[in-house]
Structure 1
Amino acid sequence: MTVPFRFIHAADLHLDSPFRGLAKAPDQVREVLSDSTFAALRQLTETAIRERVDFIVLAGDLFDEADRSLKAQLLLVREWEKLQEHNIAVFVIHGNHDPLNGARADLKLPGNVCVFGAERMEYRPAYRRSGELAAFVYGLSYGTRIMTENAAASYRIQPEGPFHIALLHGNVDGDGEHDPYAPCSLEELIGGKGFDYWALGHIHMRRVLYEYPHVVYSGNTQGRNPRETGPKGCYIVDVTAARAVELTFVPLDRVRWLEHTVPIETAGSEQELLQQLADAAELLAEEAEERPVMLRFLLTGRGALHHQLIDKAVVRTLLEQLQEGRQRHAGESWVYVYDLAVHTGAAIHWNELAAEDSFAGELYRLSERLADDEAQWREFAKDAISPLAGHSKIGRLLREELDELPAQWLEQARELTLSLVQGTDT
């Protein structure tokens, strides 16, 4: 048995993270993005105070760079001082982005903050704000940017602890989209080490890998690029006297990155499509709960507008119109459409074409045979470009491309050719 308590699990704050590739965005957009990681930090503090948590655990990458900015350090200490005023402790490990060997200002941390070192796993008691012992918290920071060894292998509980929380910044089960730092397996974390809650950092998508013991990625607190879509924030973790665990996700993000798919079948003109996109943007703004939204539209499906959307000038004009949008009042949330991607096709009835006794039908059946036989497709492609093979520069480029021969080339060639043969808009 233990006393009931509540804590926050957060990670990957990446304070002062730069936002690249948005030089053409309005000043308002760039200013809000630049402040967004700090705004998420302030929201974390406000959430901890409002929800009356007993302590916070931060599982690495508080800063975006090893040589962290003075601004980020000062603002973080200021937030920790606010937490100290409410008797809320903070337990911290550093990760690959902010290892302990990075340049730091000589700042005095408030007494409620415990930063775990990089020499060995350490543990500290965590108390309720009223003073009762709630748990032991364990952690190991990165001393340098790269940690290739299995840090979890060194974690051991202290049996006298009432509840055991392990902070780990690493890659569980080899997620291929992230660097393989501090690699370990889920089976290892749940297989008898005795920890009740693994508070993980490094992977920016929140996920609960296992329950009892809980193995949890909280994700990052603020999306920083188009790949980090959807709500970002932290988990409030409630532990009962019977050691039952309940997780509640709380969004902290100041700006939300979204991707939204819009089919073109029902749009009869560029004007209709533009209105559909504008309506979708407004709806997404409402669903973001008054947060600014960075939005990427993905146009899909088949329809009459496919021919117009092949023209980059048309797409660029639609994007410019969406970026201008409707005029919003000061302080009102905005939606900035930063990209309009086109993955559409012509309105071709493939099933009918497959059975059609015509030149177009024969072309379609040939493309199907090529799709099923890579060797035949390569030979066909080689013959098709042979008139250009003798050109000194073009020939070399084509030979390099043939080594790869992307599968989508065949699909694109089939659609373009059949659309032209049939007299269909492409």
Structure 2
Amino acid sequence: MKFVHAADIHLDSPLKGLSAYPDAPVAQLRGATRDALTALVDRAIEEAVDFMIIAGDLYDGSWRDYNTGIFFCKEMGRLKRAGIPVYVLFGNHDAESEMTRKLDLPDNVSCFSASKPQTFCIDGLSVALHGQSFKQKETTTNLAERYPAALSNYYNIGVLHTALEGSAAHATYAPCTVDELHAKGYQYWALGHVHEFFQWTGPSTIVFPGNLQGRHVRECGRRGAVLVTVDDRGHSQVERLFIDILRWEHVRVDASACTSLIEVSRCIGQALAALLDEGPTARAVRVTVHGRTRAHGQLFGLEAQLRSEVLAQIAGIGHERLWLEKVQLDTEAFMDAQQSHERLDAFAELQDILATAAVDPEFVEHLRQKLAAFAAKAPLDLHPMVPLIDDIRNGQLHALIKRVSPGLLAHLQQQE
């Protein structure tokens, strides 16, 4: 038999950081989670799977647009016409959703109870699915320990939304351990909540499929679900299905050999062209320029100009499949501090001033006041992307001063 295991669809979840970048393909980004679900249903029908599992976070929190739920019903209707049942477990985001409680789903969709563990049996396949949905978002108890014992002569699947072993990147909802899951005696655990792919083998096959569609630059790389094939002996083979519509990437470009902003821009263009050669999937890209380079002084403070140069590169290599999220600079001056002292005393004196500025309370407060207007006007969805905004509000500007100082010296050296 074959089945699809998906999780963390976050249907109609907004892709974060859009308001800061007016050239973003907003319509494509906003429809990405829907298009990904449609692609998943297409693949399930194409593979003629026996059933589908959705292991939590189908919806995205308290999202109130019922068109989201209606769209999901439409896609489930396609699976119904293909004779494919669906088993849905509601996770922490679903527990906040009105649609979880009110929408009547097609009759091929079975939802796990939130009051206690529930078992669905597919007798024709000798499959038993065990699971419990979240009743409330803050579910921090170990749900798995209450799951029933495995049914003999059945292929047992545990469906669970969990921060397995307390994943540091996710809230510790329904925590448990790999050893606990193995001890249940189930053949397969269909997990959700962690947005990266993980798989453990042993007495049980334990899988996080990751989320269906990356939603921001911290969710880089290929995304999708898994196709599980089970042989006559009950052995499970897991195949990843990559069906994300827009893929987030973080590209690091070494500018060590560059001497000007234009050369850096061309290096970025070459890296992005190579990325497009990897496949037809559209990409949203953050570029970080790094390395000890003679271009460091010229780049200082010119992120916006460099972004425009890179956008021009993108226009020539495939604008319809590539979106630039951000260009950030992490370069270093080609000339070290000791060489700077030896070359020009005036620069050495300025360097000493900058070194003391970071620990001068009066200067730090003056700088904070100057930057406060910028922090007040910054869009809310930009705050997670730009830690500097919180640093300004908290008066924590020491790191900023230390980072800017070498660039300022290099820039002035180049002007000299």
Partner of 2:387: none
Once the two structures are superposed, residues 225-245 of structure 1 have per-residue CA deviations (whole angstroms, 9 ceiling, x without a partner) of 111111110011111112222
Counterpart position of 1:29: 25
- Asked if 1:92 corresponds to 2:56, the answer is no
Alignment of 1:269-280 (within 5 A): 269-280=260-271
Structure 1 pair 78–101 and aligned structure 2 pair: CA distance change class (3 A): closer
1:82 lines up with 2:111 in the alignment: no
Match of 1:97, SS state, is: helix
- CA 247–144 in structure 1, closer or farther in 2 if over 3 Å, else same: same
Letter in 2 for 1:166: G
Name the stretch that deviates more: 339-348 or 203-212.
203-212
Question: Partner residue of 1:148?
Answer: 140
In the superposition, the TM-score normalised over structure 1's length comes to: 0.80
Per the alignment, do residues 386 and 67 of structure 1 end up closer, same or farther by CA in structure 2, a change over 3 Å counting? closer
Q: 1:78 to 1:315 in 2, by over 3 A?
A: same
- Contact 2:285 / 2:323 at 8 angstroms: preserved in 1? yes
2:10 match: 14
Map of 1:290 onto structure 2 = 280
Q: 2:291: which partner in 1? A: 301
Q: Per the alignment, do residues 252 and 341 of structure 1 end up closer, same or farther by CA in structure 2, a change over 3 Å counting?
A: same
Give the CA deviation at 1:107. Answer: 4.1
Shift in CA distance, 105/201, structure 1 to aligned 2, threshold 3 Å: closer
Contact 1:157 1:164 in 2 (8 A): no
SS at 1:168 equivalent:
strand
In 2, the alpha carbon distance for the partners of 1:340 and 1:417 equals 19
From the superposition, tell whether residues 383 and 217 of structure 1 become closer, same or farther in structure 2 (CA, over 3 Å).
closer
Residue 65 of structure 1 aligns with an amino acid whose one-letter code is G
- Per-residue CA deviation, residues 336-389 of structure 1 (Å, 9 max, x unaligned), is 111001111011368xx59x99699xx99xx9xxxxxxxxxxxx9599637859
Provide the TM-score with structure 2 as the length reference: 0.82
- Cα deviation digits, residues 196-230 of structure 1 (max 9, x gap): 11111111111114444112111100001111111
What is the alpha-carbon distance in structure 2 between the residues aligned to residue 43 and residue 409 of structure 1? 48
2:310 partner letter: L
- Name 1:326's counterpart in structure 2: 315
Match of 1:184 in 2: 176
Q: Name the aligned partner's letter for residue 259 of structure 1.
A: H
Whether 1:341 and 2:328 are equivalent positions in the alignment is: yes
- Which residue of structure 2 aligns with residue 208 of structure 1? 199
CA contact (8 A) 1:8 1:236 kept: yes
* Runs (5+) with no aligned partner, structure 2: 373-391
In the other structure, the counterpart of 2:379 is none
Residue 7 of structure 1 aligns to a residue whose secondary structure is strand
Q: What is aligned with 1:135?
A: 127
CA distance in 1, matches of 2:364, 2:97: 55
Match of 1:244 among 215, 235, 245: 235
2:360 maps to which residue?
385
Given that 1:323 and 1:338 are in contact with CA atoms closer than 8 Å, whether structure 2 keeps it comes out as no
Equivalent residue letter for 2:218: R
| C-alpha distance in structure 2 between counterparts of 1:24 and 1:236, whole Å | 37
Shift of residue 308 of structure 1?
A: 1.4
SS of the residue corresponding to residue 277 of structure 2 reads helix
What is the aligned-residue RMSD (CA, Å)? Answer: 3.6
Q: CA deviation at 1:286?
A: 2.7
Deviation at 1:321, TM superposition (A): 3.0
**1:16, 1:64 within 8 Å by CA — same for their partners in 2?**
yes
Q: Which amino acid counterpart does residue 123 of structure 1 have in structure 2?
A: T
User: Following the alignment from structure 2 to structure 1, what is the Cα–Cα distance between the partners of residues 39 and 325?
Assistant: 26
Query: Comparing both structures, which one devotes a greater share of its residues to helix?
Result: 2
The alpha-carbon deviation at position 318 of structure 1 amounts to: 1.7
Determine helix, strand or coil for the equivalent of 2:25.
Answer: helix
Q: Are the aligned partners of 2:365 and 2:395 in contact in 1 as well (CA < 8 Å)?
A: no
Deviation for aligned residue 1:104: 5.2
Deviations, residues 84-112 of structure 1 (Å, cap 9, x unaligned): 11211111100111117735585432222
- CA separation of 1:358 and 1:346: change in aligned 2, threshold 3 A: closer
**Contact preservation (8 Å) 1:100, 1:118:** no
State the 1:24 CA deviation.
Answer: 5.5
Match of 2:304 among 291, 299, 316: 316
Using the alignment, how far apart are the partners of 1:349 and 1:27 within structure 2? 38
Hey, what's the Cα distance between the residues in 2 that align with 1:387 and 1:141?
55
Partner residue of 2:109 out of 95, 113, 118: 113
The equivalent of 1:171 in structure 2 is 163
The percent identity for this pair of structures is 28
Question: What is the CA-CA distance between 1:67 and the residue it aligns to?
Answer: 4.5
Q: Corresponding residue for 1:371?
A: none
Q: How far apart are 1:134 and its partner, in Å?
A: 3.7
Paired position in structure 1 for 2:122: 126
Instruction: Choose the corresponding residue for 2:35, options 24, 39, 44.
Output: 39
**CA pair 167-105 structure 1, distance change in 2 beyond 3 A:** closer
Task: Tell me the number of residue pairs that the alignment of Structure 1 and Structure 2 aligns.
Answer: 390
1:143 aligned counterpart, secondary structure:
coil
